[in-house]
Structure 1
Amino acid sequence: MRQSSVQREGADERVPHPRELGWDDSLYESDGTGAADTEGSGPTDRGDGPDAAPDTALSSTAQAGGAAPADAEESEAEAQGKGKGGRGRTANGASARRRSRRGPWRILRWIAGVLVLLLLGTAGAGYLYYRHLNANIRSGDRSNGSTGVKKPDANGAGQTPLNILLIGSDSRATAENVKLGGSKDTAGNPPLGDVQMLVHVSADRKNASVVSIPRDTRVDIPECKDATTGKVWPKTNAIINESLARGGAGCTLSTWEKLTGVYIDHWMTIDFSGVVSMADAIGGVEVCVQNNVWDRPLPGVPGGSGLKLTAGTHQIQGKQALQWLRTRHAFESDLGRAKAQHMYMNAMIRELKSQNVFTDTMRLTGLAEAATKSLEVSEEIGTVKKLYDLAMQLKSVPTNRLTMTTMPSVEDPLDRNHLIPLEPDADKVWEMLREDVAFDSNGGPADAKKTTEPAEPVSKDPAAPPAETGVIVRNGTGSEQQSAVPRRAADIAARLNAKGYTLAEADSTPSPQERTSVTFPSADLEGDAQAVAKSLGIPLSSVKRSTDVSGVTLVVGADWREGASYPKASKPVAGGIPKSADPLNGSEKDKCMPVYAPYRF
């Protein structure tokens, strides 16, 4: 009874014998000579003989990881002094002592081996999954056109703003996209960039601003080269959504840089099926409509997203999210569609923050899978790690420091179905982005001050004497809203002559543009161009390299319609975004979209 009790206590209080866990001792036991141990081969080993009790007690204690009791040791000594059968008992005693010494270590080795296999398997699976995600990612050239816009210098803390261009493609290149987007007759057409938004994250990563440009806005599109086909598309003036078909996303990025003067770090594109996948991975996003809405074809107005919702608040995802983002007629115009998209994005960001998605492995894995399959990105962020690092920078911005806007615009006088930038409001928006000024005023006094103003880039190329520098001056003071100032180029050329630039002369070529610029064709003329700009008080940020000119060229823009020196503009202030940009702060949860009357039910 005593021996049985010891065995039960060992089983309850100690680690179970490996045999109980499926370990086969016979494969690994040795008597030291290379022969397998013969435990249990005779009556004594099975505990059948009269002297089995001491051995059983010793074995039980060894299995429990403890030392052999004294009476067990004495019984073993007596057994070694007996005659017939003593040899077998002695061998069994030695085996028991080996088990006493090696039993716990064998278990630990077994557990360690299993853990190593698990760790290696997990790491291997993680590595393979990482490679799988990387293989999902499609990428392309950052820029397909020359704009001369340079990356801004870092501030005193070594930080630069982050600008990302988001492009929603209307591609019908797959059956799924045709099913979701309709218009199967356009399945083979080049994709158009129907949704375009620039996300600007401040250098200190404390605020973010988003600007949309409606798809039918007429702009100058620079010369672009299609990286896939090698085709060169000449520069043109057309609606901005055509830029995606003229060399891909890199051409759209170049178009934005030419229009805004803002250096754009990266682009991302997504198609219809990608939107659905991402919306499903994110989960339900809350939106609101003031009236019952059904965006459907009406007499004389074909198309429609198919969105159908009753008045009030709804959780939408998947296909319904795509319908919301594509609805235009029911929200009255492209401007209304941009507003609805901003509401969705703000709600999505609030939802992701509330879910703590970046600390939830399963949620993050699902999002990573959907994102890498859905997005095409510029090549410099074409890995999972770089995309994750990018997300980490974006997630630190509080919702009340996120502002969604639309470029101020007016109806195009040449075509009422198109839009053009509204000046000077549009340029004020671009200036705030260029100067890294927050669209909101929620940062407080400390955030409104920059640690160190970045120095304007000065060329290492020495400037030639003014009398040896040729300058072409053009009149660009005309715009869509106003006529050019007569003789403006001649007046500024005369001003340069008076400052020693005797080779400066006016050129009658019409060159309407909003902002005054000084351009040069090659690096050896950069110093000359900067010297010309300084002589007239033009900021060096307006000096750009361009292959469109043959020498130093000054275009007097609509921002300089009078005066001999370039006007010093007041510095933009945080929260000074024009009302015409229709700003929407990320913390505003009570916004509800109005519905155009013909699309109510």
Structure 2
Amino acid sequence: MTRSGVRTQETRPGTAPRRPVGPRRARRALRWSATTLSVLILGTAGAGYLYYEHLNGNIDKGERSSGDSKAHRAGPNAAGQTPVNILLIGSDSRASEENVELGGGRDTRGNPPLGDVQMLIHLAADRESAAVVSVPRDTRVDIPECTDPKTGETHPATNGTINTSLARGGAGCTLATWQNLTGVYVDHWMTIDFAGVVTMADAVGGVEVCVNQNVWDRPLPGVPGGSGLRMKAGSRKVGGEQALQWLRTRHAWGSDVLRTRAQRMYMNSMIRTLRDQNVFTDTGRLTDLAEAATRSLKVSEEIGSVQKLYDLGMQLKTVPPDRITMTALPTVEDPRNRNHLVAAGADAERVWTMLRDDVPFDDKGATAGREKGDGGKTGGRKAAGEDPAAPDAEIGVLVRNATRSATLGPVGGRAGAIARSLVARGFTRAVPDTSGALAEERTVVRYPDAASRGDARRVAESLGIPPGSVSRSADVRGVTVVVGADWREGTAYPKPSPPEAGDLPKDADALNGSEKGPCMDVYGPYRW
């Protein structure tokens, strides 16, 4: 001890004296700790980077559009925001053994895939609402010329059921078909096959669905096929193969239109399930979902990374469930084939107009999207670079009378009246078709090829026919005005009133994203 009573460091025999603990040693310890921490951080980051690249490597990508379509993005609203449109396609591809096992049809393994589930997801420019529109797979539409990005084969424009577009140039052809059908610019597409549905359903832990009666979708005498779905009345979670059966069931619901309702109910439930799960605080759950999503989905190339998919998901997440509206395209029986459907004239056009003008499908938002954007004048269709039209006097126009409807007979002389009106407007080559009255629910202007697109739009504009009613068709040889049952008098197309928020037609079969109550009714023969 020192005189002051403070103990000094004692040295035992045979040992070196211990160094005092001073500022120098403390600094050295801090440096060691910092180095160790840096190594740990860098190691973790490296593993995270490798896993991020692994997930990116899972993603299968494809060309955004492989078809002849000239739709343009909608202009920004007053805040500089633009809507986002995503096409979701469910493929019946049997290109793998797993898909064959899940979907059956081993003898069709090599056949081109069909897009049997098709939904357009519209995220409003202000990100406060979202709309989903399903089109039944057997709806007959104009399919544009498409080039298959894998084989380079070019498929000519045709008129057929919308599900066949996937086989004529992949998802990019289906996207182009939707753009021509709706006049809406579609930003992205995503596709998922049988195996992907099973994987995603398991990853989210099952999705709750509901039936009012016991259901068994099975083959019956004279009615082959069936998804195999079998469950008792009430609500229950379906996962894996049973989730796929729910989405594929048609006979047990009674129609293809009702199948789209069951699919929308499933999607509603899945959205609610994901929102309720704390995946971002559960590393295991987040990893499972990331693996499932990146392996299950094929996406258009411009969103072909984990970061871009995550950003898109975050935008969708901002919309509250009660501002998500799911609908089906209003359709009627196809006059050419009772097993097919066609868009239901003015009701279908109203749905497309609301999408083009970014008008909310519910009544909880702004009155009309046009108040926030370009005045609703273009509907997202016109832009610089539009195909030029020939001088009016050089455009040949054939006018057809198709005013007959399911409940009303044709109006005589309509083709002649509209042809004379066009001649008076300067279209001196306009003539009526004298082959007899046809039946079309709504008035349309059709054209045969890209070279005549501008001419067709010029004719439509002169008559006041909306841009969404102008489409390419393999059934015409030149610009053709088909005067439908919605235009039975006058020489100026009746101007529809602009849609208000929530102004959906009744046959759009709207479902709100927050609804948990709806159950599917089972068609009698498939109850047990």
- How does the TM-score come out when normalised to structure 1? 0.77
The match for 2:95 is 173
Change (3 A) 1:546 1:302: closer
Give deviations 1:434-455, integer Å, cap 9, x for gaps.
2222221133x57878334445
The match for 2:76 is 154
The match for 1:471 is 395
- What are the ranges of 5 or more consecutive residues in structure 2 without an aligned counterpart? none
Give the one of 132, 141, 162 matched to 1:210. 132
The match for 1:259 is 181
Residue 385 of structure 1 aligns to a residue in which SS? helix
The match for 1:298 is 220
Alpha-carbon offset, residue 299 of structure 1: 2.0
CA distance in 2, matches of 1:306, 1:525: 46
CA contact (8 A) 1:203 1:436 kept: yes
CA contact (8 A) 2:59 2:305 kept: yes
> Is it true that 1:331 corresponds to 2:250 in the alignment?
no
CA contact (8 A) 1:473 1:489 kept: no
Give deviations 1:303-336, integer Å, cap 9, x for gaps.
2212111111111111111111111111122122
Give the one of 90, 94, 112 matched to 1:190. 112
Change (3 A) 1:415 1:564: closer
CA contact (8 A) 1:404 1:584 kept: yes
> Is it true that 1:575 corresponds to 2:497 in the alignment?
no
CA contact (8 A) 1:165 1:268 kept: yes
CA contact (8 A) 1:268 1:378 kept: yes
Change (3 A) 1:406 1:179: same
**Higher share of residues assigned helix:** 1
Residue 200 of structure 1 aligns to a residue in which SS? strand
The match for 1:597 is 524
Moved more, 160-169 or 564-573: 564-573
Residue 229 of structure 1 aligns to a residue in which SS? coil
> Is it true that 1:451 corresponds to 2:372 in the alignment?
yes
Residue 131 of structure 1 aligns to a residue in which SS? helix
CA distance in 2, matches of 1:304, 1:368: 32
Change (3 A) 1:366 1:357: same
> Is it true that 1:588 corresponds to 2:524 in the alignment?
no
Alpha-carbon offset, residue 348 of structure 1: 0.9
More RCO (CA 8 Å, sep 6+): 2
CA distance in 2, matches of 1:458, 1:184: 47
Which one-letter code corresponds to 2:421 in the other structure? Answer: R
Which one-letter code corresponds to 1:303 in the other structure? Answer: G
Give the one of 396, 421, 443 matched to 1:495. 421
Matches within 5 A, 1:359-378: 360-378=282-300
Residue 424 of structure 1 aligns to a residue in which SS? helix
Change (3 A) 1:481 1:250: farther
Give deviations 1:529-549, integer Å, cap 9, x for gaps.
877666544556777899999
Give deviations 1:225-245, integer Å, cap 9, x for gaps.
111111111122222111111
Matches within 5 A, 1:544-555: 553=479, 555=481
Residue 26 of structure 2 aligns to a residue in which SS? helix
Change (3 A) 1:414 1:564: closer
Change (3 A) 1:114 1:231: same
Alpha-carbon offset, residue 277 of structure 1: 0.7
CA contact (8 A) 1:518 1:533 kept: no
CA contact (8 A) 1:476 1:484 kept: no
CA contact (8 A) 2:357 2:368 kept: no
Change (3 A) 1:269 1:494: same
Moved more, 401-410 or 503-512: 503-512
CA contact (8 A) 2:444 2:483 kept: yes
CA distance in 1, matches of 2:527, 2:274: 31
Change (3 A) 1:201 1:460: closer
Which one-letter code corresponds to 2:44 in the other structure? Answer: T
Change (3 A) 1:486 1:452: same
Alpha-carbon offset, residue 472 of structure 1: 2.5
How many residues are treated as equivalent by the alignment?
A: 517
Which one-letter code corresponds to 1:207 in the other structure? Answer: S
> Is it true that 1:96 corresponds to 2:19 in the alignment?
yes
Change (3 A) 1:600 1:503: closer
CA distance in 1, matches of 2:384, 2:471: 11
CA distance in 1, matches of 2:387, 2:525: 65
Change (3 A) 1:437 1:101: closer
Aligned-CA RMSD value: 3.6
CA distance in 1, matches of 2:285, 2:36: 28
CA distance in 2, matches of 1:513, 1:69: 109
CA contact (8 A) 1:473 1:492 kept: no
Which one-letter code corresponds to 1:451 in the other structure? Answer: K
Alpha-carbon offset, residue 170 of structure 1: 0.6
Change (3 A) 1:461 1:386: closer
Change (3 A) 1:509 1:102: farther
Which one-letter code corresponds to 1:575 in the other structure? Answer: G
The match for 2:267 is 345
- What are the ranges of 5 or more consecutive residues in structure 1 without an aligned counterpart? 1-53, 58-67, 80-84
Change (3 A) 1:532 1:578: closer
CA distance in 2, matches of 1:479, 1:112: 82
Alpha-carbon offset, residue 562 of structure 1: 3.3
Identity %: 57
Alpha-carbon offset, residue 489 of structure 1: 5.3
> Is it true that 1:389 corresponds to 2:314 in the alignment?
no
CA distance in 1, matches of 2:415, 2:396: 9
CA distance in 2, matches of 1:355, 1:156: 35
Change (3 A) 1:117 1:262: same
CA contact (8 A) 1:475 1:509 kept: no
Residue 494 of structure 2 aligns to a residue in which SS? coil
Alpha-carbon offset, residue 520 of structure 1: 11
Change (3 A) 1:378 1:217: same
The match for 1:137 is 59
- How does the TM-score come out when normalised to structure 2? 0.87
Residue 267 of structure 1 aligns to a residue in which SS? strand
Give the one of 411, 430, 438 matched to 1:505. 430
The match for 1:36 is none
Give deviations 1:364-413, integer Å, cap 9, x for gaps.
33222111110111111111111111111111111111111111222223
Residue 364 of structure 1 aligns to a residue in which SS? helix
CA distance in 1, matches of 2:422, 2:336: 36
Residue 191 of structure 2 aligns to a residue in which SS? strand
The match for 2:165 is 243
Which one-letter code corresponds to 1:555 in the other structure? Answer: V
Alpha-carbon offset, residue 144 of structure 1: 1.6
The match for 1:414 is 336
CA distance in 2, matches of 1:509, 1:69: 125
The match for 1:49 is none
